[in-house]
Structure 1
Amino acid sequence: MTKTAWVFPGQGSQAIGMGADMFVLPEAQAKLAQAEEILGWSVAEVCQSEDDKVSKTLYTQPCLYTVETLLVDALRSQGHTPNLVAGHSLGEYVALYAAGVFDFETGLRLVKRRAELMDGASEGVMAALMGFDRTELEQKIQETSDVVLANDNNPGQVVISGTAEGVDAVLSQVKAKRAVKLNVSGAFHSPLMASAAAEFQAVLEPVAFSDAQVPVLSNVEPIPATDAATLKERLTRQMTGSVRWREISLQLADDGVERVVEVGPGNVLTGLIKRTCSGLALTNVNSLAALDALEQS
């Protein structure tokens, strides 16, 4: 049997209309109603709003979590199961749901508060760099205060995070094929999120986690784990810690994974993995049509 990993994208993969074909399913209606009760607004309406409301952090994260968990449910209903799971930033919450660590409601309540805190963050900026000298970049980051490597996505694509002055200093000193500042409210995955992380810790602490049914690769610690306390401790560090996606990609190959299924809108993660690990079969499940195609493959 082919060893398979499910991976879940985070903020930046959202798109207007995502999940629309699933929202009409009877089994999805109950979760959408539950989500509206928790959030105070409709995931389906926000996802289909032409004003791109879905790209505002406050809405993006709960919408992605809801859409991706619906896809997980659909995959499971057709008999699919993963051998390993991982998620990029927000996607780690879906990975934990898929692994049975907590139920839909518990995860959504955590994601709701996370989105509120991150949406309210106003300190710092983030910038993506593509096509650069890694040694040079790492040296400049070390030499510059208040800047960290926030997302280590693959050997040729990263995101840095920190104060506006610090990020500008790094961008001015590192040659890159492309560098662009991201439209986000703060310096996510950096020490500048410490205040928000402390508030979130108070919400996360009393939540009961179960041992995972399949190993989870965490953003801050890309080593397979199933222990509930370990997974929870790793999640507490996620808001201020780096997303070590390049290492997660390498770990998938080291663990003998042969097939990676990206569950969620877009194909960001399979694109990143393809540039890090050749030889893995890569599939995207972002709709019912894609799920049907998976059934036939």
Structure 2
Amino acid sequence: MKIAWVFPGQGSQIVGMGVDLQETPIGQAKFEQAEDILGWSVLEKCQAQETELSRTLYTQPCLYVIESILADLLVQNGQLPDLVAGHSLGEYSALYAARSFDFTTGLELVKRRAELMDKALGGKMAALMKFDRQQLEDAIAANADVVLANDNSEEQVVISGTPEGVDAILAQVKAKRAVPLKVSGAFHSPFMTDAAQEFQGLLDSCKFADAKVPVLSNVDPTPTQSATMLKERLMKQMTGSVRWREIMLCLPQEGITHGVEVGPGKVLTGLIKRTCPEIKLTNVGKMSEL
């Protein structure tokens, strides 16, 4: 039996998430540490209005803290993964779970990433479900203002770019469903280059260790434990595509038989279930699921 832990990203947050974790010594300590670093309470934000929790500035640190606590509780229960991966923001939780950096280093990075992404304006993102992939790829290739931001599965992707560019693609490509995302910027695209350059200074100063288990990165879904490589891949993540479809296809190739989605919601579980039906899946998003 080989187990992969997968960590969801922005979009999986739900009001009330993580509240039960404060009953554990690990949770209590991490929530206190987080408040010192962030200057605000993760628990308070998790119990705030959905609009506030869904603001990038708060969503990303809240998810990272909760997913890190859940990972620590799993380890305390004697469970360890054979491989980890995270979707977008979830990659930070995955790197923490693999002990490539400590909790505070990860949170400092996530805090800065959230601040920079929260400030990004003028972009648009949209999700497409059940579309003609060739038609989409051709349309994007002919449009310099749009990229494939999240390749989530064979039937679900997210495009990112200028509002005009994204609207043009949506008008051209037939899809069963197209949903504009509630974000201010064109995340995971070259339009985030300025933010990525600002972020690089902090990332350069952070100490990474070789991961204890292989990590599949968003921009390069080949397993590695190399600290240098993991840091390089993380640097490219803000402007690069999330290659989640390829990450999922890599799981059976790596001999993974079981997957655990560590965090709120079941977004990744649903994607993996449809892509790799042979993998047994469970969710750990709250105390009762541990």
Q: Give the TM interval when normalised to the shorter protein.
A: over 0.9
Correspondence for 2:53: 54
> Greater shift after overlay, 250-259 or 27-36?
27-36
Residue of structure 1 equivalent to 2:73: 74
Cα distance in 1 for residues equivalent to 2:50 and 2:182: 16
Assess, with a 3 A threshold, how the Cα gap between structure 1 residues 51 and 282 changes in structure 2: closer, same or farther. Answer: closer
In structure 2, the residue matched to 1:165 is 164
Question: Residues of 1 paired with 2:58 and 2:22: CA distance?
Answer: 17
Cα 1:159–1:5 shift into 2, 3 Å = same
Residue 238 of structure 2 aligns with which residue? 239
Give, as a single letter, the amino acid of the residue that structure 2 aligns with 1:122: L
Deviation at 1:239, TM superposition (A): 0.1
Shift of 1:274: 1.3
Counterpart in the other structure of 1:212: 211
Report how far residue 201 of structure 1 moved: 0.6
1:142-175 Cα shifts (integer Å, max 9, x gaps): 0112100000000000000001111000000000
Identity of aligned residues (%): 65
- The question of whether the paired residues in 1 share the 8 Å contact of 2:14 and 2:50 is answered with no
Q: What letter corresponds to residue 13 of structure 1 in structure 2? A: S
Residues 182-234 of structure 1: CA distance to partner in whole angstroms, max 9, x if unpaired? 00010000000000000001110111100000000000000000000000000
Could you report, residue by residue, the CA deviation over 1:1-21 in whole angstroms, capped at 9, with x for unpaired residues?
Answer: x10000000000000000111
* Equivalent residue, structure 2, for 1:294: none
Cα shift at 1:27: 2.4
Where 1:85 maps in the other structure, the secondary structure is strand
1:45-124 to 2 correspondences below 5 Å:
45-124=44-123
Give CA deviations for 1:55-89 in whole Å, capped at 9, x if unaligned: 11000000000000010011000000000000000
Relative to structure 2, which stretch is displaced further, 15-24 or 80-89? 15-24
User: CA–CA distance in 1 between the matches of 2:122 and 2:248?
Assistant: 30
Give the aligned partner of residue 295 of structure 1. Answer: none
The one-letter amino acid paired with 2:182 is N
**4+ aligned runs moved over 4 Å, structure 1:** none
Segment of structure 1 superposing worse, 17-26 or 180-189: 17-26
Gaps of 5+ in 1: 292-297
Residue by residue over 1:14-37, the C-alpha shift from the partner in whole angstroms, topping out at 9 and shown as x without a partner, is 000001111222221111111001
Q: Which amino acid aligns with 2:13?
A: Q
TM-score (norm 2): 0.99
**Separation of aligned partners in 2, 1:238 and 1:51:** 27
Runs of 5+ in structure 2 lacking a partner? Answer: none
Q: Report the counterpart of residue 150 of structure 2 in structure 1.
A: 151
Give SS of 2:288's match: helix
Alpha-carbon shift at residue 51 of structure 1 (Å):
4.8
Answering whether residue 255 of structure 2 is matched by residue 256 of structure 1, we say yes
The answer (yes or no) to whether the contact 2:3–2:259 under 8 Å persists in 1 is yes
Partner of 1:133: 132
> What is the CA–CA distance in structure 2 between the aligned matches of 1:274 and 1:256, rounded to whole Å?
16
TM-score normalised by L of structure 1: 0.96
- Would you say how many aligned residue pairs link Structure 1 and Structure 2? 290
